[in-house]
Chains A and B, each alone.
Chain A
Amino acid sequence: GAVVSQHPSWVICKSGTSVKIECRSLDFQATTMFWYRQFPKQSLMLMATSNEGSKATYEQGVEKDKFLINHASLTLSTLTVTSAHPEDSSFYICSARTGTISGNTIYFGEGSWLTVV
């Protein structure tokens, strides 16, 4: 299957600082990528849909000024958590869609554990 790489896998940052997470599609071009957040023992919650060359579409309740998403190329989307606080600590995971809308599959990155201290 297609490969989606996410970096870093683990990150610890101080409260008030910003941290960037990268999501790359290694062997295909992804016009659309998705960012999810997962708290321990809970489901994946869609945060935003990232479209190459345009602004991300955020889900209700997700602060777009806090979670900055950039999709500058067909293989890279980044999520920046700005002014991080301990409650932002979570597992962040991206996914990318292959192929055309009529017949495509979504593959997930490895995920990034963020701990804000």
Chain B
Amino acid sequence: GENVEQHPSTLSVQEGDSAVIKCTYSDSASNYFPWYKQELGKRPQLIIDIRSNVGEKKDQRIAVTLNKTAKHFSLHITETQPEDSAVYFCAASIQNNDMRFGAGTRLTVKP
């Protein structure tokens, strides 16, 4: 089955700096890669997603890149703000079936 690895497990940046979180996946058939933001005790919120027919997608300060050959994808947050502090999860699935999550990255943005 699919195995998703996520790095780093914790990330601390200064407000205004950029943050990058990387994930790798094992199943070459995976074609949908969402990123979720989760605050303590709350539901994960979808922040951006990318499908395998696209190499990059951007939404304001957030961008995701996908390298299908290397089977890795990354989340980029620019101009970070304190409210970006949360746990971020990457995930991979085949057509949204059996979605597997990475271990999560705890992002702290220091004001």
Interface residues of A (CB under 8 A from B): 1, 32, 34, 42-46, 49, 91, 93, 95, 97, 101-102, 104-111, 113
B61 within 8 Å of A by Cβ? no
B46 within 8 Å of A by Cβ? yes
Asked if residues B99 and A34 are in contact (CB atoms below 8 Å), the reply is yes
Contact of B43 (CB < 8 Å), options: A42, A105, A110, A113:
A110
Residues of A within 8 A of B101 (CB): 43-46
Rounded to whole Å, the gap between the CB of B63 and the closest CB of chain A is 19
Contact of A106 (CB < 8 Å), options: B41, B89, B99, B104:
B99
B69 within 8 Å of A by Cβ? no
Residues of B within 8 A of A109 (CB): 43
8 other A-B residue contacts (CB within 8 Å) besides A46-B99, A49-B98: A43-B104, A45-B101, A49-B97, A93-B43, A104-B95, A104-B96, A105-B49, A106-B99
Residues of A within 8 A of B103 (CB): 42-43
CA distance A101 to B100 in the complex (A): 17
CA distance A37 to B98 in the complex (A): 14
Chief secondary structure at chain B's binding surface: strand
Asked if residues A113 and B41 are in contact (CB atoms below 8 Å), the reply is yes
Asked if residues A108 and B89 are in contact (CB atoms below 8 Å), the reply is no
Residues of B within 8 A of A1 (CB): 46
CA distance A105 to B93 in the complex (A): 11
Residues of B within 8 A of A42 (CB): 103-104
Rounded to whole Å, the gap between the CB of B62 and the closest CB of chain A is 16
CA distance A46 to B49 in the complex (A): 19
Residue of B nearest to A9 (CB): B41
Asked if residues A108 and B104 are in contact (CB atoms below 8 Å), the reply is no
CA distance A49 to B98 in the complex (A): 7
Rounded to whole Å, the gap between the CB of B66 and the closest CB of chain A is 17
CA distance A109 to B36 in the complex (A): 13
Residues of A within 8 A of B43 (CB): 93, 108-111
Asked if residues B41 and A101 are in contact (CB atoms below 8 Å), the reply is no
25 contacts between A and B (CB under 8 A): A1-B46, A34-B99, A42-B103, A43-B89, A43-B104, A44-B44, A45-B101, A46-B99, A46-B100, A49-B98, A91-B41, A93-B44, A101-B95, A101-B97, A102-B95, A104-B95, A104-B96, A105-B34, A105-B49, A106-B34, A108-B43, A110-B43, A111-B42, A111-B43, A113-B41
